[in-house]
Amino acid sequence: MLRRFGLTATLVLLTSSTALAGSGPYIGFHGGSSGIDVSLGSGNVRLESNDFAWKGFLGLGLGRFIAIETGYVRFGSASDTVAGVSVEQKLWAWDTAGLLKINIGPIDLYGRVGGAYWKSEAGVGNVSLTNDGFDVNYGGGLGVVLGKLEIRGEYVYYDASGAGDPWMASLGLTIGF
């Protein structure tokens, strides 16, 4: 009897904490790795790089299955030396995405799709180049809900050929209010 009560109480706590974490506003931070593969100028200079990336965001859970997030992403930079000339590109974006979640106890599986305004700043020797645009981003992740906290792993691809089709794989933390 006591064992059955303990199991029932555990299930109730797990499902209620997941429901609470899925509704209302939250803030989050992720850090991880990004990849950029871009051609600069007329395509004679190509940069491929992985670098440290981070993002900060605000979110709003609209029940257990849907959320909206908006935030800032810093992809890091790609650099190389070509024929003795230093080449570097820095890339950042503001993005907004809708998330569709599946809750399995304290585990959240989610897919995301949205849009991002991105800007790249490149330097080739003494010449500066800038480029910007608005493109689609999509990805998915897995989170472990611990009351109002969620620990996440996520992969997001930004379909932005003018910015080197960047991607970001990260681990992060969200805090619900």
Beta-bridge partners for 75: none
CA angle 174, 120, 156 (to 5 degrees): 35
Q: Over 70: is that where the pLDDT of 10 sits?
A: no
Q: What pLDDT is stored for residue 115 in this prediction?
A: 97
- C-alpha to C-alpha distance for 170 and 71, rounded to whole angstroms: 15
Q: Over 50: is that where the pLDDT of 18 sits?
A: no
E-strand spans in 9-44?
24-40
Domains (range + CATH), the chain: 2-176 (2.40.160.20)
pTM (global) more than 0.85 = no
Note the pLDDT tens digit of each residue in 146-171: 999 999 999 999 998 777 889 999 99
Note the pLDDT tens digit of each residue in 83-131: 787 888 889 999 999 999 999 999 999 999 999 999 988 887 788 888 8
Q: What pLDDT is stored for residue 79 in this prediction?
A: 80
Query: CA 79 from chain center: how many Å?
Result: 22
- C-alpha to C-alpha distance for 40 and 11, rounded to whole angstroms: 55
User: Residues 78, 36: contact at Cβ < 8 Å?
Assistant: yes
